[in-house]
Amino acid sequence: MSDLLDVPESKLIFLHSPLNKLAMFTRFLQIRFSQGTLPWQWREDPNKVWGDGDDPDAAATVFIDAEFALEKDYEGASPAIIVGRGSVVHPRPVVGDDAPVSPDKLTRGWEQKIGFGEMDVRMQCIGQTKAEASIIGDIVQASITMSRKSIMQAMTLRNVSQTVLSPVQPYIRDSDKFMCVVEFRVYFEQRWKVIPSAPILDRVDFFTKSVVDAANYVQTFALKNQEN
């Protein structure tokens, strides 16, 4: 399991970003395929992706990971579900977007902004046979559709579109395997604050006037505690 999926501890992915949402969808499918009623089971140990052969009647291991965190050793895993994205439309600010900047905004008062974004989610369902790929795709599509309300609440999404399951086709990485894709679009909300620029410029001006030489300037500016 990739460390990147441990989203709260990752400095590379910020909360409520598109990659954060992909990680959450990945975790949703891992939980769904951890239930004992399915013939495919997700297991925490990725080394069991290929099966250990101890019990021929045991459920097959299905590999589930996010596309952005996929390790090269598991690019050919099958059966598998790879969660990726299509197009991402970054939100346009809808509060204070075109308003002129007044002088007081440069010196005081943080500006709150809000925007509504969209992202296409693509889940590649890969199997050794057409039947396996098709059935895994059916399960994924049904799970997303039937859990739509819960997913929206858990991931703070504004909406989830209808899910579309593609026909079975040869897998793009291995023509001996097959895949079908579950696609849908999610609509999300992002909020942020804009810091006034004048205090930042004043701070830079203060540093430039207080230094004796270039080396001292770099050291002072780089090591200065920004909270003081």
pLDDT band at 99 (very low <50, low <70, confident <90, very high): low
pTM to 2 decimals? Answer: 0.70
Residues 121, 163: Cα–Cα separation, whole Å:
10
What pLDDT does residue 148 have? 93
Distance CA 29, CA 43 (A): 12
pLDDT tens-digit profile of 26-41?
Answer: 999 999 998 878 899 8
Domain parsing of the chain, residue ranges: 3-195, 196-228
Mean per-residue pLDDT over the chain, rounded:
76
Provide the CA 49 distance to its chain's centre, in angstroms: 23
Query: What is the per-residue pLDDT across 201-220, written as a single tens digit (0 to 9) for each?
Result: 555 555 555 555 655 655 66
**CATH architecture assignment, domain 3-195:** 2-Layer Sandwich (3.30)
State yes or no: pLDDT of 6 exceeds 80: no
**pLDDT above 60: residue 90:** yes
Q: Are 111 and 94 in contact (CB under 8 A)?
A: no
CA–CA distance, 87 with 185 (Å, rounded to integer): 9
If one compares 80 and 7, the residue with the highest pLDDT of the two is 80
Q: What is the pLDDT of residues 126-172, one digit of tens each?
A: 999 999 999 999 999 999 999 999 999 888 899 999 999 999 999 88
pLDDT at 2 over 50: no
Predicted pLDDT of residue 190: 79
**78 φ, ψ to 5°?**
-160, 135
